[in-house]
Structure 1
Amino acid sequence: MSDIIFYIIAVVAVILVIVAAMRFKSFRNWLVFAVSEAEKYLGSGTGKLKIRYAYDLAVKQYPTITKIIPWCVFSKLVDAALVIMRQMIDDNKKIAEAINKKTEE
């Protein structure tokens, strides 16, 4: 009987890890959106303010994740999202126009 309980616990643990990984991947993808919004709202050259803005958005959207992830890790994730956003801007004129449109106004 204890073997069955062990296997059930193991399966549940694996499912939880998979769900958490999927949720984290979703969070990382969402961060690209958040830094794009921060870029539109604050413009370029506002690095620390952008991180704070993205963090405030993340607290609203993902309250649990922001309690788990330390600030230094969050900051690095934002830096990675900024790299992706800049690549998207370089690769797609429409994205560049959408993000830069607000900052030029």
Structure 2
Amino acid sequence: MDFIVNNWYIIVAILAALAVAGAVAYRYFKLPSTEQLAKVREWLLYAVTEAERELGGGTGKLKLRQVYDLFVTRFPWLAKIVSFELFSGLVDDALDEMREMLKSNTAVKALVEGKPAE
């Protein structure tokens, strides 16, 4: 009982964090599957852009591995469902979208290349 009295604020903080995590998970799973997939695709675009910025060109397999590792960390439940081949196809789609963004958006190109935006 002394533990609870002495550490009540920690217990309340943990309960609040669990409540917030539960609410976020509930909102995500409540979305239709097409919206869930759209969220994953948006995240993949971010992940491949970061991998491109960190590793540069000519490192395709390393970038794929890095993005997959991030995916498994971010979406562990989805990684059990999605095959690596399907994931690789989704990454290819995200890479195509990133390349289009690099052509049309100088700010994104500057971010990836590590240069100041013009």
Higher helix residue share: 1
1:23 aligns with 2:36: yes
Structure with greater contact order relative to length (CA < 8 Å, sep ≥ 6): 1
Counterpart CA distance in 1 for 2:112 and 2:30 is 35
Structure 1: which amino acid aligns with 2:113? N
Runs of 4+ in 1 over 4 A off after TM superposition: none
Unaligned stretches of 5+ residues in structure 1: 1-15
User: Which residue, out of 74, 85, 89, partners 2:98?
Assistant: 85
Give how far 1:20 is off: 2.6
TM-score (norm 2): 0.68
Amino acid at match of 1:95: V
Percent identical residues: 41
Which runs of no fewer than 5 residues in structure 2 stay unpaired? 1-28
In the alignment, does 2:76 pair up with 1:49? no
Partner in structure 2 of residue 68 of structure 1: 81
Does structure 1 residue 39 correspond to structure 2 residue 39?
A: no
What is the CA distance between 1:18 and its match in structure 2? 5.3
Q: May I ask how many residue pairs the two structures share in their alignment?
A: 87
